Homo-oligomer: A and B are copies of this chain.
Amino acid sequence: MKKPPRRTAERILSTALGLFNRFGEPNVATTLIASDMGISPGNLFYHFPSKELLVNALFDAFEERMFHLLPAAADVKDLEHAWFFMHSVFELIWEHRFIYRDLNDLLSKNRHLESQVKEVLQRQRQAFEQLLKGLQANGLLAQTDTEHKSCATHMVVMLTWWLSYEYVQDPRHAMEDNNANRSALRGAQQVLGVLLPYLHAQPKAQLQSLIQVYA
């Protein structure tokens, strides 16, 4: 049995995600999304009565996948696994990069994001702390409790704003689709680079060579 309304809602979400990622959320009106799909503004309005609801639906889908992914941090036992985990986190961020492009402006206008983005960053910080403790339990690094916390905070800042750093270097191309793979690799490299100085000599050499192989 077909359910056309739901299919339209999904198409709206995927079109909006593509346009937001490409041009930035502040620069994409709902009328542009409708015309890009060849539907009437009224039809779009029937599914999403405001742009905010559209942004929230996209954000919630992102958040759900992020919360599904983060608990894997607790199972990270070695650096190859850490690399794979961080790369997956970055791919997810890349798919929803519009949230990261205009984060502060979105937060200032949207109460749902105001509370939820904070929650995402907090859970990421906790996941990274677990990852660091796991690596320590497996004898790969040495950190005090304070260092666990500050290192996890630095990792979250790198994770959240690395795309912005790349954007500053090259605003016209950094967010383009064909940059996806390289960007996720460089992101994982930068976030894990934060813990390099804490690693013991042998795992440090291993992470450095992992970074070089993939970079």
Contacts and interface: CB of A to CB of B under 8 A. Distances in A.
Contacts of A167: 104, 107
Given A121-B169, A157-B162, 8 more contacts: A102-B102, A104-B164, A107-B168, A114-B171, A153-B190, A154-B193, A157-B158, A161-B165
Interface in A57-82: none
A118 to B, nearest CB: 6
- Nearest first, the 6 A-B pairs at minimum CB distance are A161-B161, A197-B197, A107-B171, A101-B104, A104-B167, A157-B165
Copies in the complex: 2
A196 B196 CA distance: 12
Contacts of A102: 102, 104-105
Interface of A: 24, 26-27, 101-105, 107-108, 114, 117-118, 121, 147, 150, 153-154, 156-158, 160-162, 164-165, 167-169, 171, 190, 193-194, 196-198
A157 B158 CA distance: 7
A197 B147 contact: yes
A108 B102 CA distance: 11
Contacts of A156: 165
A160 B16 CA distance: 29
Contact of A117 (B26, B147, B150, B168): B168
A156 B165 CA distance: 9
A149 B102 CA distance: 28
Which of A104, A168, A171, A196 counts the most chain B CB atoms within 10 A? A104
Nearest to A197: B197
Contacts of A114: 171
B168 A121 contact: yes
A125 to B, nearest CB: 10
Given A114-B171, A150-B193, A168-B118, A26 B160 contact: no
Contacts of A169: 118, 121
A158 B171 CA distance: 20
A165 B171 contact: no
